[in-house]
Amino acid sequence: MKSYFIKTFGCQMNKSDSERIERVLLDMGLSRAKEADEADLVVVNTCSVRQSAENRATSFLKNYKKLGKYCVITGCCASKDPERFEKWVDLVLDIRNLEKLPSFLKNEAHKPRLRQRHNYFKTNPKYSNEFHAYVPIMTGCNNFCSYCVVPYARGREVSRPVKDIINEIKSLVKNGYKAITLLGQNVNSYKSGKTDFPALLEKINNLDGNFWIWFLTSHPKDMSKKLIKTVANCKKVCRYIHLPIQSGNNEILKKMNRKYTREKYIKLTKLIKLNMPDVCLTTDIIVGFPGETRKQFNDTKKLFKEIRFDMAYIAQYSKRPKTAAAKLEDNVNCQEKKRRDKELTKILEKSALENNKKYVGKTVEVLVEKPGIGKTRSFKTVKLENKDKNLVGKIVKVKINRALEWCLTATNDDSSR
């Protein structure tokens, strides 16, 4: 094999994992192909949170397997249930065995069933971006939400040593990176020795250099007062918090095994807004969970109206094999799930627009991601009047002149860094 192509379906952690996969393949002497058609090796890295992502991944693999490509699948989906994919691929790779990939590829007949798991974070990534880097600080999950396969796919929570994280970020900042996103399936449960997540944020915030810090994804049960105050007090930590609620009804939350109540979540969001009035608050929601009645769904609608999220990622429930919820009857039909999705989206459109209007007339900093498009510190998307490609990777000051539901528009001033 001389060339490879990596296709990623999933979250930021999947994208970060793909950067490490790419480093391994480059170190083997392979070159990156522009398209899968041109590659000898096709790697699909996918999640299994939604059935749609899994369907896209398997469809993609089937096409290239038929063309005679050497196909590899990895990610949460592969780790959870490898036998399901063996007929479509040559190799099913548990991402935690990444350092073994070269030996697996050299022995095509070998189907690895390793019980031993390695620290794949030791593999240095081939960053896909020159100014914004994903830095995983932990992997796995101990929560066992009833609809989720992550604890089975990724294993229990494992936190990276503080020293490794700090050294990686120091190197990134030294090389001109402007933004760092800390990643973990449950990022705020990070714990390494005596260092918890708030303490880690403080250590990173105290590093030299001008850069922003984002983090994903937080679990409400671990969103402590200490963490909220730390985010509020650390200048480099951006005022953006993604806090999945999943449902606004306590009975459904209990069925989901989320370990908090609607009331606790609302109390948390009030505390966050009290400490950070300018915070951008986003969430995840599942509609049509098994047994969710119309009345229970209405509790979610009421919660949306009360909290007024800036953004919400709404998923229509799909059964995932080997989870506790898979044993429940999926008794909310597809048409009703779509209807509930639309109802929440309509509420979200209104709150997102109202929140965005607060930016109009203000001058804010924007990290330009591509010509004419950037992100504010609060992770708001901004469409820029100036589409100069030389601004990409720089932080510029802009004046917001218009608010839309999902973005802002702005004019540039002359300052950038």
Confidence of residue 379 (pLDDT cuts 50, 70, 90): very high
Query: Residue 274 is encoded by which pair of tokens?
Result: 């009290």
Q: What is the mean pLDDT of the chain?
A: 91
> CB–CB of 45/8 below 8 Å?
yes
Two tokens, residue 284: 């995840």
Distance CA 384, CA 410 (A): 5
Q: Are 308 and 335 in contact, with CB atoms under 8 Å apart? A: no
Distance between CA atoms of 104 and 235, rounded to whole angstroms? 45
State the average pLDDT over residues 275-293.
Answer: 97
- Cα 46 to Cα 100: distance, rounded to the nearest angstrom: 19
284, exposed or middle or buried, with CB in 10 Å at 0-12, 13-18, 19+?
middle
Alpha helices (runs of H) in 81-196, residue ranges in sequence order: 101-106, 150-154, 162-174
- Residue 50 near residue 315 (C-beta atoms within 8 A): yes
Q: List, for residues 311-333, the tens digit of each pLDDT value.
A: 999 999 988 877 899 999 999 99
User: Given this model, what pLDDT does residue 114 score?
Assistant: 47
pTM > 0.95: yes or no: no
Give the SS3 label for residue 247: coil
* Contact (Cβ atoms closer than 8 angstroms) between residue 312 and residue 305: no
Q: What pLDDT sits at residue 193?
A: 94
Tally Cβ neighbours within 10 Å of residue 95.
23
Mean pLDDT of 260-272: 97
Nearest-angstrom CA–CA distance, 184 and 172: 19
The neighbour count for residue 405, using CB atoms within 10 Å, is: 15
Going across the sheet that includes 70-74, the strands are: 31-32, 3-9, 41-46, 70-74, 91-93
387 in Cβ contact with 368 (< 8 Å): no
Q: Give the tokens for residue 73.
A: 């699948």
> What is the per-residue pLDDT across 96-140, written as a single tens digit (0 to 9) for each?
888 888 888 887 545 545 445 567 788 889 999 999 999 999 988
CA nearest neighbour of 46 among 70, 80, 10: 10
Task: Kindly report, residue by residue over 19-31, the tens digit of the pLDDT.
Answer: 999 999 999 999 9
Give percent of the chain above pLDDT 90: 72
Tokens 């994280």 identify what position? 165
| Mean pLDDT of all residues in 384-389 | 92
Confidence of residue 250 (pLDDT cuts 50, 70, 90): very high
Cis peptide before 181 (omega within 30 of 0): no
First to last CA, the chain: 42
Q: Is the pLDDT of residue 414 over 80?
A: no
Residue 297 has pLDDT above 70, yes or no: yes
Residue count of the chain: 417
Query: For position 104, what pLDDT does the model report?
Result: 86
Is residue 397 over pLDDT 70?
yes
Among 265, 257, 201, residue whose Cα is nearest residue 233? 201
User: Which domains are assigned to the chain?
Assistant: 3-106 (3.40.50.12160), 127-357 (3.80.30.20), 363-416 (2.40.50)
| Parallel/antiparallel/unpaired status of strands 212-216 and 179-183 | parallel
CB atoms within 10 A of CB 161: 14
Q: How far is CA 393 from CA 176, 300, 368, in A?
A: 9, 39, 6
pLDDT > 90? residue 76: no
Residue 297's nearest CA partner among 257, 239, 253 is 253
Q: What is the pLDDT of residue 78?
A: 59
Mean pLDDT within 243-247 = 97
Biggest distance spanned by C-alpha atoms of the chain: 63
Report the distance separating Cα 272 and Cα 36, nearest Å: 45
Tens of pLDDT, residue by residue over 153-192, are 788 899 999 999 999 999 999 999 999 999 998 999 999 9
Angle between helices 262-275 and 294-307 (to 10 degrees): 10
